[in-house]
């Protein structure tokens, strides 16, 4: 499932963080999801596109970049 979200937090040391979905649900993402995309850094408040497999984020990129698939 491809959705839009807003970055809540990102830790560059662990390359993990969390996002808010538009309904306010907070979803964590790990380094594997961040590393799957083309990004080097995220800031709180940035809009991102994410790919989810069930309830797990598998890909994170800026909302202006194309999602895989």
Question: What would the two tokens of residue 47 be?
Answer: 């809009």
**Structural domain harbouring 11:** 2-62
Mean pLDDT by 10 residues, the chain (69 residues): 94 97 96 95 97 95 86
**Helix, strand, coil % over all residues of the chain, rounded to 5:** 10, 50, 40
Is residue 68 assigned to a domain?
Answer: no
- Answer yes or no: pTM beyond 0.85: yes
Residue 58: the pLDDT is: 96
Residue 69 lies in a domain: no
pLDDT of residue 33: 97
Count of all residues that appear for the chain in the document? 69
Is 36 within the bounds of a domain?
yes
> How many domains is the chain partitioned into structurally?
1
Residue 66: predicted pLDDT: 85
């Amino acid at each position: 499932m491809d959705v839009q979200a807003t970055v809540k937090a990102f830790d560059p040391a662990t390359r993990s963080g969390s996002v808010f979905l538009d309904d306010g649900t907070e979803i964590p993402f790990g380094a594997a999801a961040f590393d799957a995309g083309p990004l080097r850094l995220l800031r709180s408040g940035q809009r991102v596109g994410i790919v989810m497999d069930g309830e797990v984020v598998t890909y994170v990129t800026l909302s202006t970049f194309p999602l895989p698939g």
